[in-house]
Amino acid sequence: MKQKILNEMNLETTLDKIYGVGLKIYKKLQKIGLNTVSDAIFYYPFRYEDFSHLKQINELINEESATIRGKIILLNNKRSPRKKMNITEMLLEDNSGQIQIVWFNQPYIKNTLQIGDELFVSGIVKKSLLGFSLINPNYEKTNRDTSHTARIIPIYPTTEHLSQKQLRYIIKQSLNCINEIQEKLPKNIIEKEKLIDLRDAIKQIHFPDNYKKLEEAKKRLSFDEILILSCLSKFIKKQNIELSSPQINFKEKQIVDFVKKIPFDLTQDQKKAAWQILKDINNKIPMNRLLEGDVGSGKTIVSFVCAYNVILNKYQTILMSPTQILAKQHFENATKFFKDYNINILLFTNSDRLLFNGKKEIANKLTKNEISKFIKKSNFIIGTHSLIQQKVGFENIGLIIIDEQHRFGVRQRQELTKKSDISPHFLSMTATPIPRSLALTIYGDLDISRILQKPVGRKKIITKFVSQQNRSKAYEFIYNQIQNGRQVFVVCPLINESDKLGVKSVMSEYEKLNNDIFPNLKIEYLHGKMKETEKQKILKSFSESETKILVSTSVIEVGIDYPNATIMMIEGADRFGLASLHQFRGRVGRSIYQSFCFLFSDSNSEKSKKRLEILTKTDDGFKLAEFDLKFRGSGDLYGIKQSGFMSNIKIADLSDLELIKKCNTWAQYIFERGIEKFPEIKKEVELLSSDIHLE
């Protein structure tokens, strides 16, 4: 019966209808997001193994991957007595010789094959006592079109218990529906960019005939991905323009007074950014602006100036940050800066911790009603994302500021403004520098302000790569600094050693420093799995300079300001991207004292050493981001890949700025002619945009 359905298969057919796919496999497929034939078609391999060159048995080389073709002359199942394993043994013969082939715990193989069958077998050649053998190789009968052997084999991301072989089979079956996929690009683009046909590209990305075809397929699919992304940006921007925001008048006199009272002079870049924002919000079209500036460049005060102007217009401002620690710090800063102004400030990190004007802390669970009352009374509401999760109404919001996030706005705007006709203005702030043309694509719907200058008087942070031999010298240096009153951060990649063998962990470093190296200093540790109250306690002790050394995971990556900390020690530095390392480094150097960043790494690889040395030479976040692109590719650059916005990027390399520029130009072309004229592109863009709204 399933065979019959197979003939009527279409893109929407669920994969359990495929012959041989039972409920059990179907459930596993669903776990990796594969429900329908269409899902399977668009599930791309993440790498390939080359089994395309047939070898004679007597030509095999130890440890090399190879494909051979031969006839079965022996086939047996036996049990290994000690390990209770089932072993299938085969002897395969070609014109040049014989080879032993072994599978563990796959007894069914014996039932699917017979002596005399001709097979392709692909695997890694291993030398054993009895000559060469292949262990757990892929195999296929030669009388079929091959998908597991004798070709460039796709390797898919998968979970345990769902084999490559099963996936390949399912995808191969699904590809029978390839003709239902509609071409989305107009002919002129395809011709101008010398792209191959979409269906061809999809077929080749799964089962490439050769490397040239594979490259062509990648080129075509990358182009589509970036083009769609670029169109999506433009699409969202267009939608945004149709909404209406409160117009925030520029209260020049009060703003100038406020800026005068700030205990430092704003840099030119800060002034310019503030001015751009103030101009934007003096308009009914919602502002959607990204404020980019290196760590410590002073984004917060810029946002405060703007918040103040919004509040003067009798609208509320919300400031959201990714962590409670950061929210608390913003709250304290706001309380300080707005001390002499009649402004109600609320800290809201969850419903049992609510601070109003720094006075009351309510420790009991508040009812929705009570929370609402506090929110209504507040001018400036600072919190984490739990602000959104609360189903309390925000009715009078003029501006939403989102700190240390890569891109947002769309979903938050929807969530926060569900109950109101007016859409607030949006300001996102990030310390993640992104090359301009890339920003144009992923942030095409945003306007960007950049703070490039550092506040005056900041000293350059001295950054050094420390070899193992010099470790004790570094400790000595640290000890002296602490004796002079300074404090130290130690960042490690993991919490526990057992998480990954040999990688530096918070707990083991803490114990080492606390017990062996500095037994007479107060040392604490901090990681993301600790209770919030405990974290607060530890940070308080650090900010009061009681704790001298704080060992932590990357939880301190964003935003925290401890002027007295002057040393940042990073263990396992090779495990972080340059952009992250640069962020860690930005935790120090926030005062008049000279600060230091020490990089430690157990990796002996030249490449990783070279990479880390770049950090010792430059403190330009944009340059570092470009190096990251070069060294690490766009793999999970900036964490943006996880955001819904990027969910369509599977193949494209975001470091390919050339391609990005091209696609931006074509997206422009598409919108100039009207996206309605490109129905397949429109369909995809609309689908993605609704995904983002639901994200």
Residues that bind ligand ADP (CB under 6 A): 264-267, 270, 293, 295-301, 431, 455, 559, 561, 590
Pick what 409 binds: ligand ADP, Mg ion, none; C-beta below 5 to 8 Å, kind-dependent. Answer: none
How is residue 646 annotated by DSSP? G
Structural contact between residues 588 and 566, judged by C-beta atoms closer than 8 angstroms: yes
Least separation, in Å, of the C-beta of 592 and Mg ion? 20
Shortest CB 403 distance to Mg ion, Å: 6
- The interface partner of residue 326, options being Mg ion, ligand ADP, none and the CB cut-off 5 to 8 Å by kind, is none
Residue 561 partner contact from ligand ADP, Mg ion, none using kind-dependent CB cut-offs of 5 to 8 Å: ligand ADP
Q: Which of 559, 572, 589, 621 binds Mg ion (CB under 5 A)?
A: 559
Q: By C-beta, is 216 or 557 nearer to Mg ion?
A: 557
Query: Environment class of residue 372 by beta-carbon count within 10 Å: exposed (0-12), middle (13-18) or buried (19+)?
Result: middle
CB of 561 to ligand ADP, least distance (A): 5
CB of 593 to Mg ion, least distance (A): 20
DSSP string across 212-227 = HHHHHHHHHHHHHHHH
Q: Looking at beta carbons only, is 154 or 586 nearer to ligand ADP?
A: 586
Size of the site for Mg ion (CB under 5 A): 1
299 vs 504 by CB, closer to Mg ion: 299
Give the Cβ contact number of residue 377 at 10 Å. 11
User: Considering the complex, what minimum distance in angstroms separates the CB of residue 462 from ligand ADP?
Assistant: 19
Q: In angstroms, what is the minimal distance from the CB of 452 to ligand ADP?
A: 12
Residue nearest to Mg ion (CB): 559
Decide: helix, strand or coil at residue 5.
helix
The DSSP letter of residue 515 is: I
Q: Supply the minimum distance, in Å, between the C-beta of residue 499 and ligand ADP.
A: 29
Report the residue number, 183 or 265, with the smaller CB distance to ligand ADP: 265
Nearer to ligand ADP, 430 or 553 (CB): 430
Q: Beta strand pairing status for 549-552 and 523-526?
A: parallel
Which partner, ligand ADP, Mg ion, none, binds residue 590 by CB below 5 to 8 Å per kind? ligand ADP
Residue 295 contact among ligand ADP, Mg ion, none, beta carbon within 5 to 8 Å by kind: ligand ADP
Strand partners, 121: 68, 139
How many angstroms separate the CA atoms of 309 and 323, rounded? 26
Nearest approach in angstroms of CB 122 to ligand ADP is 52
* Residue 301 contact among Mg ion, ligand ADP, none, beta carbon within 5 to 8 Å by kind: ligand ADP
Q: Does 154 engage in binding with Mg ion (CB under 5 A)? A: no
Between 320 and 652, CB nearer to Mg ion? 320
Name which of 164 and 591 has its Cβ closer to ligand ADP. Answer: 591
Q: Output 270 or 689, the one with its CB closest to ligand ADP.
A: 270
The residue sitting closest to ligand ADP, measured at its beta carbon, is 298
Supply φ then ψ for residue 48, to 5 degrees. Answer: -135, 155
Nearer to ligand ADP, 166 or 591 (CB): 591
Q: Which option in Mg ion, ligand ADP, none does residue 17 bind, with CB closer than 5 to 8 A by kind?
A: none
Instruction: Extract the tokens encoding 287.
Output: 């502002």
Give the per-residue contact string, 373-392, with Mg ion (x = CB under 5 A; - = no).
--------------------
Token look-up 């494209």 returns 652
Q: How many angstroms separate the CA atoms of 590 and 126, rounded?
A: 57
Options 7-15, 29-37, 551-559, 565-573: segment touching Mg ion (CB under 5 A): 551-559
Q: Which of 429, 439, 446, 436 is nearest to 295 (CA)?
A: 429
Q: Per-residue DSSP letters for 15-53?
A: GGGSTT--HHHHHHHHHTT--BHHHHHT---SEEEE--S
Minimal distance in Å, beta carbon 302 to Mg ion?
10
Could you tell which of ligand ADP, Mg ion, none binds residue 266, using a CB distance below 5 to 8 A set by kind?
ligand ADP
Token digits of residue 156: 């898919």
CB of 333 to Mg ion, least distance (A): 10
Tokens of 444: 């095409």
Contact partner at residue 455 from Mg ion, ligand ADP, none, CB < 5 to 8 Å by partner kind: ligand ADP
CA distances from 335 to 20, 347, 360, 558 (A): 65, 10, 14, 20
**Half-sphere exposure (Cβ direction) of 454: Cα atoms closer than 13 Å:** 16
Distance CA 397, CA 379 (A): 9
Contact in structure between 300 and 334 (CB atoms under 8 Å): no
**Cβ at position 543, least distance to Mg ion in Å:** 16
Tokens coding 203: 């077929």
Q: Which residues contact 61 (CB under 8 A, 6 or more apart)?
A: 125
Pattern of binders to Mg ion over 217-256, x per CB under 5 A?
----------------------------------------
Q: What is the 8-class DSSP label of residue 402?
A: E
- β-strand pairing of 353-356 with 360-361: antiparallel
CB nearer to ligand ADP: pick between 299 and 611: 299
Tokens of 531: 């209770």
What's the CA gap between 317 and 398, in Å, rounded? Answer: 6
Location of structure tokens 């950014």? 273
What's the gap between Cα 173 and its chain centre? 32
Least distance CB 637 / ligand ADP (angstroms): 20
* Type of residue found at 408: F
The nearest distance, CB 524 to ligand ADP, in angstroms, is: 22
Residues with Cβ within 8 Å of residue 661, at least 6 apart in sequence: 437
Binding residues for Mg ion, rule: CB under 5 A, are 559
